[in-house]
Amino acid sequence: MSATGPDARAIAAAVRAGERTAAEVLEEHLGRIAAREAELHAFNHLTEDAARAAAAAVDAAVAAGQDPGPLAGVPVALKDNLCTRGVPTTCSSRILEGWCPPYDATVVTRLAAAGAVAVGKTNLDEFAMGSSTENSAFGPTRNPHDTTRVPGGSSGGSAAAVAAGFAPLSLGSDTGGSIRQPAALCGVVGVKPTYGLVSRYGLVAFGSSLDQIGPFATTVADAALVCEVIGGHDPADSTSLPEAFPELTPHLADGVDGLRVGVIAEMMGEGISPDVAARVRSAAEALASAGAVVEEVSVPAVTHGLSAYYLVAPAEASSNLARYDGVRYGNRVDAPTAGEMMEATRTAGFGDEVKRRIMLGTYALSAGYYDAFYGKALKVRTLIREDFDRAYASHDVLLSPTSPTTAFPLGAKVDDPLTMYLNDVCTIPTNLAGHPAMSVPYGTGDDGLPVGVQVLAPARGEVAMFRTAAVLEGSLR
């Protein structure tokens, strides 16, 4: 098991009250990183110097009687697909190795403004494409609970960093489950907010209509706090919703009395490990005994989620990743002509999984195939949204496993993309619908490894989702 320190709210409270310094908090976490990072490889890049400067600034503010903000002195780790000014942002790809953005992502700016201290950039599957963090060009991250196992992915570095106590908070991005699945496998809380509630400005795009940034934390309350800090309208993102993030913290203790909870039938049978399904049932019982009305509900279209996702996400990716051509930034492989230079650069710069998805997406958008593939996938997407709408007409939140299994051994699925893709079967439909969902640690499976329960909600349904998560968290105490 991993050892984590105090949670973010406790740290911020102590720093704001002058009981602890941000510098002291930072050194404690840097110490934990020094002890275990070589073994886990959660980070692509550490920013100790900048972190020490940021911590000193927080301490100076406190000393001057100012409030550095709700995350005062809290170390955070950032997925390495979030742009950080002057700090390498690689997406774990050779093609961007060494590239430093000239600007910060909106979420990075908002975290800093709230007093958080960024400690480094975390490992991921290249361009967030994968479910194990084994697709990183810089080597895999290992699960802090069992280093022979994967941490999940694609935000495996961010999940492992929180699970290992390297930072009480981290940010990831979730296109098809890339926050929730590694959260489940690493035994931490992971949230994918409603599409549009957190700005994507400065998030290196994978599947733009699916990508959403969210937090990893050790507690539900910490995750809520991060959502409140990073969420809300941003004029720099045209898909950003014109509203603030719903206030969560005041509702965390509201309980679930009378809340209508549906367990998704399609996600409890075939393909789901029985020990994982058992934990979900146990979570449902806990909610029922806390006063919720729990029943099974069918959301038929979710069974088509995976197929639709593997057309929509690669199609968008094939276009989003076209800009990596060696002309303006990133690595370049020289060749006699511009076209050959682009080809050589992309051949050398992208890994196999990225190439596979670019090819899939290019094919799906091709003239003559668009209607059969991309067009049809968009129709499935509508069906999934409609089926969810029907379920939410009579339920406030839904429940399912986050991942079909607990953490699997490194190398177990890396040569079999289709098996790997099945890891996200429970998480993908939410992205297609644009809804929020989160993973809450709920005990362990037969192998003693963490199991996550997924709480799903309709668009802007974060309050009910967090209330449910808080009750689940409390039921384990």
Partner 1 sequence: MTGIDLDRWEVVIGLEVHAELATRTKLFSAAPNEFGGAPNTHIDPLTLGLPGSLPVLNEHAVELAIRVGLALNCTVQRSVFARKNYFYPDQPKNYQISQYELPINVDGWLELPSGQQVGIERAHLEEDTGKSTHVGGGGRIHEAEYSLVDLNRAGVPLLEIVGRPDLRTGEEARAYVSELRAILVAVGASDGKMEEGSLRVDCNVSVRERGAAELGTRCEIKNINSLRSLGRAIDYEAARQVDLITAGDRVVQQTRHWNEDDGRTHTLRSKEEADDYRYFPDPDLVTLDPDPSWIERVRLALPPLPAARRHRLAETAGVPLEQTALIVERGLDELCLAAVAAGADPARTITHAEHNLSDERARALDPAAFAALVGMEVGGQLTATQAKAVLAELVEQGGDPVAIAAARGYEAMDDAELEGLVDGLIAEHPEEWARFCDGDGKITGFFVGKVMKATQGKADGKAVTALLNSRKG
Residues of this chain that bind partner 1 (CB under 8 A)? 82-83, 89, 91, 96, 99, 101-103, 105, 200-205, 207-209, 235-239, 315-316, 318-319, 322-323, 325, 327-329, 337-339, 342, 362, 365-367, 370, 374
Q: How far is CA 355 from the centre of its chain?
A: 22
273 is catalytic: no
For residue 176, which of 398, 439, 447, 421 has the smallest C-alpha distance? 421
Specify the residue, 364 or 453, whose C-beta has the smaller distance to partner 1.
364
Q: Please tell me which residue in 154, 240, 318, 400 is annotated as part of the active site.
A: 154
Residue 403 annotated as catalytic: no
At 202, the amino acid letter reads G
- The catalytic position among 2, 79, 170, 413 is 79
The distance from CA 9 to its chain's CA centroid, rounded to whole angstroms, is: 20
The nearest distance, CB 371 to partner 1, in angstroms, is 12
Nearer to partner 1, 200 or 385 (CB): 200
Looking at beta carbons only, is 135 or 219 nearer to partner 1? 135
How big is the chain, counted in residues?
477
**What residues have CB less than 8 Å from 356, skipping those under 6 apart?**
417
Q: How far is the CB of 136 from partner 1 (least distance, A)?
A: 17
Measured in degrees and rounded to the nearest 5, phi and psi for residue 232 equal 100, 165
Q: Which is nearer to partner 1, 59 or 325 (CB)?
A: 325
296 contacts 263 by C-beta, under 8 angstroms: yes
- In the set 93, 155, 178, 400, the catalytic residue is 178
Task: Provide, rounded to whole angstroms, the least separation between the CB of residue 96 and partner 1.
Answer: 7
Nearest distance in Å: CB 300, partner 1? 26
Query: At its nearest, how many Å lie between partner 1 and the CB of residue 473?
Result: 33
If the CB atoms of residues 204 and 224 are measured against partner 1, the closer one turns out to be 204
173: left (phi over 0), alpha (psi -120 to 50) or beta: beta
Q: Is the Cβ of residue 249 or residue 319 nearer to partner 1 in the bound state?
A: 319
Q: Among 107, 85, 152, which Cα is nearest to 406's?
A: 152
- Phi first, then psi, for residue 119 (nearest 5°) are -105, -15
CB of 368 to partner 1, least distance (A): 9
Taking the complex as a whole, the smallest distance from the CB of residue 112 to partner 1 amounts, in Å, to 16
Close Cβ partners of 384 (under 8 Å, ≥ 6 residues apart):
299, 301, 302, 304, 305, 308, 429, 432, 433
Residue closer to partner 1 by CB (options 194, 318) is 318
355 carries an active-site annotation = no
Q: Which residues are catalytic?
A: 79, 154, 178
